[in-house]
Amino acid sequence: MFPLTYNDRDSDDIIDAVNYVLSGPSGLGQNFAGVSGYNVTSLTGNFRAPFVIASTSVNALGGSGAFTVTVDSVEGIYEGYYAGNAAATIGVGAQVAVGGIDPDTKTITLTVANSGPVSGLVTFSEKTTAALYVAPIAVTTITYINPFTVQINFAPQPAPPFGLGNNPVVSGNSQALYNYFYTGAGVIECTTTYAIVRSTRSIANPGAGVGGTVTFANTLQPPVGPAVPPANDWIQTDCNANASVTGATDRVFISAQLDQRVGYETTATSNLRITVAINRYRVINIGDPTNPELRNVFEAIIAQRSSLQSGLSGTGELPTYDTVFNTFIDEPGPGYYQYRLEVLYRVVNPAGAMQVTYTKVDVRTLSTQVVKE
């Protein structure tokens, strides 16, 4: 605080006060950003948003055999959303019925009766679980739509196999240009017989392609690759925060936490390494000043923790794996950055063969503070 009076004697005080204001933010509590959540959801494995399926978790009560539950809040619950709880007393495949949301009584009507008494946290989500693995599907034909978009036609499936935003891989097609890892927007439409996929690559029309397979996977297989995996191998969570560093003495303080439950299937006994990391990406403009087009370029691992799960066989779900990063300090040069909380799954024994099929997360958070000295 600067107590000022208007006379020549206080001119130095006035200058000091103005300089202090112009110097910008300093100390803790400035330039804060972050994301946190506790609702049960699952990772999509997408290259771009959405990184988790839309969901909300609320406390609920319901009787065995009843088609209703009473909840603390109806906010974030929509008709058609699936319902589920850890005790599995919500009926299998239960959805919120059409017209089944009463905001006055906070009662939710479901399409399936409760299989037991309901008490505790219930999750409502737009789909039950996002798949991190889709086994190879036989492709019939691939047709060209435009330089960035193709339609992949495949053998009929029981349900649409790919989620919106998934980035599938095509191999073995008669047209070599279609054999590709489709990064970018990925799947923009999917039915039981075809998927329309958009990528960042532009190609000329090669005509129709025949045969091959299409799959979607997020688990690194042996042989073991480089110590630092490429950026595309990291699976994003919905926890990220941007930070602007303006001076050489600026420091970024980052904290994070992630609770996850990993589902898997194996075809041979496998050892799986689970890595959770805070990664830094530099935000760059690949367009021009009047038409900016921002890209996040992987720069560094700021912090990471790993766990080795050995001797996995068959199918199953690993116990909750909790990772906590207390405050880490990063000192990048001036620039604009994005910090992400990400995971990576790698099969580390040469004879191993497995896929992580889903990852459910609940408590998760990432926060950043830029401190100016």
The domain that holds 61 is classified in CATH as 2.40.30
Domain identity same for 189 and 314: no
| Torsions phi, psi for 355 (to 5 deg) | -135, 140
Residue 345, exposed/middle/buried by CB under 10 A (0-12, 13-18, 19+)?
buried
pTM: 0.86
CB 115 within 8 A of CB 91: yes
Of 73, 103, 125, at which residue does a domain stop?
Answer: 125
Domain of 295, in residue numbers: 219-371
Domain identity same for 169 and 286: no
Q: Which residues of 125-143 are buried (b: 16+ CB within 10 A; e: fewer)?
A: beebbbbbbbebbebbbbe
pLDDT at residue 29, rounded to an integer: 46
Domain identity same for 227 and 208: no
User: Is omega for the bond preceding 161 within 30 degrees of 0, making it cis?
Assistant: no
Residue 185 CA to residue 275 CA, distance in Å, equals: 25
Domain identity same for 253 and 344: yes
Domain identity same for 209 and 249: no
pLDDT at residue 185, rounded to an integer: 94
In a domain, 234, yes or no: yes
In a domain, 167, yes or no: yes
Across 276-282, average pLDDT: 97
* pLDDT band (50, 70, 90) for residue 212: very high
The two structure tokens encoding residue 81: 């959303």
User: Is omega for the bond preceding 50 within 30 degrees of 0, making it cis?
Assistant: yes
Structural domain total, the chain: 3
The two structure tokens encoding residue 49: 């948003």
Report helix, strand or coil for 111: coil
* pLDDT band (50, 70, 90) for residue 288: confident
Domain identity same for 205 and 224: no
Which comes out higher in pLDDT, residue 181 or 290?
181
The two structure tokens encoding residue 199: 């990528």
